[in-house]
Amino acid sequence: MRTSRVSRDTARLVAATRTRPLTRSVTSPSSRSSGNLNIPVTQNTLRESDTVAIHQGTSQSDSELSSVPDSDSEGDTIMAPSKKRKRGQTAAVAVKQETKEITIAAIALPKKEAAARKARRTPAKRIKTADGTVKMEPPPNWEEIYALTREMRNENVAPVDTMGCESLADRNATPRDQRFQTLVALMLSSQTKDTVTSVAIKGMQDNMPGGFSLESVLALEPPALNAFINKVGFHNLKTKYIKQTAEILRDQWNSDIPDTIQGLTSLPGVGPKMAYLCLSAAWGRTEGIGVDVHVHRITNLWGWHKTKQPEETRAALQSWLPKEKWHDINNLLVGFGQTICLPVGRRCGDCKLADRGLCPSAVVAKTTKIKQEQAVTKEEGIDSKKTIRSRKTVIADGPEIKAEDVESVPDIEDIMDQTPKRSSRKSTQAEL
C-alpha cells in the first residue's frame, strides 16, 4: 500500500497550499531526518503578486509529511508537484513580475513645471454689483502675466521694435507726409512680414520721384506704384487701394489722413485694427486697441476670453483692460508672438509664463514610462534573472494645443473679404 500512501500525502499537500499562501519553501524536520522529501527553495524573496510554478520530483517514502508553517508575506503560491523528471534536467521557474513603471518627468521636472499642467483657463467675468450695474472682473493673475511678458519683451528684440509700422515714417518729412506714410505702411503690412514692409517703404522714400508723399503717389501710374510694392502680399490689390485712398484724401480730407475712426475705416482696405493703430501712431490718440492676429491668438491662448474674431477680442479686452495699456498691448504681444509665442512651434521652454504655471496652453515636457518583464530560470538550484522584453512608451502630458484650437483670423481685414482665401501655410508664414 506504499503507492496509496504517497497519493494521500500528495493530495494533503495540494490541499494545504490551496488554503494558505506560502512565501518560503521549507524542508520539514521529519523530512530532513529521513532524507526522503525535499522542497527546493528559491533564494530570493519574490515580490507581491508573483506566481511560482515549481516542477519537482517526489521520492516514494513511508515517512510522514510534516506540517507547513504559516507564511509571513503574501502573493506566492506553490503549485502541485509534477511527474518525476530525470536527473540533470533543468527545471524552469517562470516568474511574471509586476510591471515596473518609471515616470521620468515626475522625477526630473521641477515643481514649477509640474504646476504648469494644472493651469486653467479663467476668462474675465461679468459681475452684477449691488446697485444693479454690470462690471467686468479681469482674469486672475493678468497683471503678473502682463509684467512677465513685458520683461521677456525687454530681453528679446523683435522685428516690430525696429521695423514696425509706427517707426517707418521718415522723420525728416513734414508731419502731414509722415502721417500719410504711416497709413500706407499699415496698409502694406497686412499679410506681410515687417521685414518686407520696411524694405518697401524705404524704397518708396528713397526712389519715388518727388519723395514719398500724397502728391507723388497721385502722380504715379498704377504699374509704377506696383513696382515699388511688388514684394508685399496682395500687392496688386493694395496698389489699387492706395491709389483710391490718395484720391479720397485729396478730394475729401484736404490732402491729409482722417483723424477719426469712422473716417479712417471709410478708406479702401482700412479696417478697425489699422484705424486704431493709425490714429494712435499718426495723431497720438488712443481710442481703442489694435487687435491683429498675434493679439487675438495669444490672449485666447492665455484663456482671457474665447473669441473667434478680432473685433470680439477688442471688445473683450477693452471691457476690463486699463486704458493706459491699450496702446502698449499691441506692440507687446506682436513682439512676443514674433520671438517666443510663435504661431508655429511655440517656445514654451523659454517662456516664463509656462515656467511659473501661468499659461494654460503651455506644452509641458514629456513623460516616459519604461515597462519591463523578467523571467527567472532555475538550473540545478541556482537562480538567474534575465530580461526577456523591454518596452518604452512615450506619453505627452499636459494640454496639447492644436492649430484648430484657436481659429486663425485673416490679418488683411477688408482686403480678404474681396479675395479668395489662401492656404493656411501661407497665412501662417505671414504671421511670423
Measured distance CA(346)–CA(344) in Å, rounded:
6
Which pLDDT tens digit goes with each residue over 119-164? 788 888 877 777 777 788 899 899 999 999 999 999 999 999 999 9
Measured distance CA(409)–CA(271) in Å, rounded:
13
Measured distance CA(231)–CA(229) in Å, rounded:
5
C-alpha dist (Å) from residue 18 to 6, 11, 68, 77, 80: 19, 11, 12, 8, 10
Supply the pLDDT for residue 276: 95
Long-range (24+ apart) CB contacts under 8 A made by 389-393 are 392/368, 393/368, 393/369
Supply the pLDDT for residue 125: 80
Which pLDDT tens digit goes with each residue over 202-212? 999 999 999 99
Measured distance CA(306)–CA(316) in Å, rounded:
9
Cβ–Cβ under 8 Å, residues 262 and 288:
no
Lowest model confidence (mean pLDDT) among 58-67, 242-251, 323-332, 359-368: 58-67
Q: How far is residue 58 CA from its own chain's centroid?
A: 64
Amino acid, single-letter form, for residue 246: A
Which triple of cell numbers denotes residue 280?
494712435
Cβ–Cβ under 8 Å, residues 412 and 191:
yes
Residue with cell 478730394: 251
Q: How far is residue 141 CA from its own chain's centroid?
A: 20
Supply the pLDDT for residue 133: 78
115-359+405-431 placed in CATH 1.10.340.30: yes
Bridge partners, 137 (sequence order) = 125
As annotated, the active-site residues are 273
Supply the pLDDT for residue 5: 75
Which pLDDT tens digit goes with each residue over 4-19? 777 787 778 777 766 5
Which triple of cell numbers denotes residue 253?
480730407
86 pLDDT above the threshold of 50: yes
Question: What does the buried/exposed string (b/e) look like for 40-65 if buried means 16 or more CB atoms within 10 Å of the residue's CB?
Answer: eebeeebeeebebebebebeebebeb
Work out the mean pLDDT of the chain and round it to a whole number: 74
Check the CA dihedral 319-320-323-328 and report its sign: negative
Residue with cell 524704397: 203
Measured distance CA(137)–CA(147) in Å, rounded:
19
Lowest model confidence (mean pLDDT) among 163-172, 234-243, 397-406: 397-406
All structural domains of the chain with their residue ranges: 1-98, 115-359+405-431
Which pLDDT tens digit goes with each residue over 320-357? 999 999 999 999 999 999 999 999 999 999 999 999 99
Supply the pLDDT for residue 222: 94
Residue with cell 478680432: 310
Supply the pTM of this predicted model: 0.60
Cβ–Cβ under 8 Å, residues 313 and 276:
no
Lowest model confidence (mean pLDDT) among 153-157, 188-192, 360-364: 360-364
Cβ–Cβ under 8 Å, residues 331 and 322:
no
Measured distance CA(96)–CA(110) in Å, rounded:
34
Which pLDDT tens digit goes with each residue over 158-187? 999 999 998 899 999 999 999 999 999 999
